[in-house]
């Protein structure tokens, strides 16, 4: 007898970390971490952000695992290739819940969404598939999901978009980066390409330039 696959919905707790005080009509920055990060540590990369102007939220991927074996350092992931469509549905629901919670309590003068590394595909799908909009969208050290249906790319014409890479990124060559930028332009997504002297990481000066632009 062959097995059969099933799915069932249930409630799950999702974790996030914040920086700053949401009171006072601040600007909102939501930053999604890369593969293997934890939000508790990823949010430290935004310590240079002016918290008089910004309130920062870093949600954490819903899947945690040990980096090595069965103990020690823990990381989180947004999804894998396994049962991916349900994982996408789950993290979009999770991210919607975070945004709707804070926007129901506080007023924000603008909203920026940043996706770093694996978090870039997550951020792209969230913006494309949800009802929410952002004033700025930042793809950082990552590429646009190649399987994104073209009809959803129209959503990105309503935001100011940035494509950011370090010149020494260990996961992408300069030719790779140029090719992906051309693919975004072919989709008619208006996007500004920014490079900096550095590797696969958040670069303080570049981040502050984009946030203050």
pLDDT of residue 174: 87
Q: Calculate the CA 43 to chain-centre distance.
A: 12
Does domain 16-212 bear CATH number 1.10.150.120?
no
Instruction: Give me the long-range contacts of 97-105 (CB less than 8 A, separation at least 24).
Output: 97/14, 98/14, 98/16, 98/30, 98/57, 98/59, 99/30, 99/132, 102/22, 102/28, 102/55, 102/57, 105/22
Task: For residue range 137-165, list pLDDT tens digits in order.
Answer: 999 999 888 888 888 888 898 899 999 99
pLDDT of residue 151: 82
Q: Which of 154, 166, 95, 152 is nearest to 126 (CA)?
A: 95
Alpha helices in the chain (DSSP H): 39-42, 84-105, 118-129, 174-186, 204-212
Task: For residue range 9-48, list pLDDT tens digits in order.
Answer: 889 999 999 999 999 989 999 999 999 999 999 999 999 9
pLDDT band, residue 103 (cuts 50/70/90): very high
Q: Is the pLDDT of residue 186 over 90?
A: no
Q: Is the pLDDT of residue 129 over 90?
A: yes
Q: Is the pLDDT of residue 189 over 90?
A: no
Q: CA quadruple 12, 38, 135, 102: dihedral positive or negative?
A: positive
pLDDT band, residue 56 (cuts 50/70/90): very high
Q: Supply the mean pLDDT for the chain.
A: 94
Q: Is the pLDDT of residue 187 over 90?
A: no
Q: Is the pLDDT of residue 117 over 90?
A: yes
Domain boundaries, the chain: 16-212
CA distance 48 to 119: 20
Which pTM value belongs to this model? 0.95
């Amino acid at each position: 007898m062959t097995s059969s696959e099933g799915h069932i919905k249930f409630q799950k707790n999702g974790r996030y970390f914040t920086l700053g005080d949401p009171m006072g009509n601040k600007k909102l920055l939501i930053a999604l971490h890369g593969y293997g990060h934890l939000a508790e540590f990823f949010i430290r990369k935004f310590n240079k952000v002016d918290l008089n102007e910004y309130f920062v939220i870093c949600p954490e991927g819903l899947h945690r695992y040990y980096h090595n074996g069965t103990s020690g350092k823990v990381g989180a992931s947004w999804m894998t290739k396994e049962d991916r469509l349900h994982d996408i549905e789950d993290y979009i629901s999770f991210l919607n819940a975070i945004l709707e919670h804070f926007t129901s309590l506080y007023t924000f003068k603008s909203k920026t969404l940043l996706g770093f590394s694996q978090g870039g595909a997550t951020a792209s799908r969230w913006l494309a598939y949800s009802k929410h909009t952002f004033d700025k969208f930042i793809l950082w050290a990552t590429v646009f999901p190649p399987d994104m249906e073209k009809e959803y790319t129209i959503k990105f014409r309503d935001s100011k978009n940035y494509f950011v890479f370090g010149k020494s990124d260990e996961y992408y060559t300069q030719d790779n980066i140029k090719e992906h930028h051309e693919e975004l332009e072919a989709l008619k997504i208006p996007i500004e390409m920014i490079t900096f002297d550095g590797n696969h990481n958040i670069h303080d000066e570049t981040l502050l330039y984009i946030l203050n632009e």
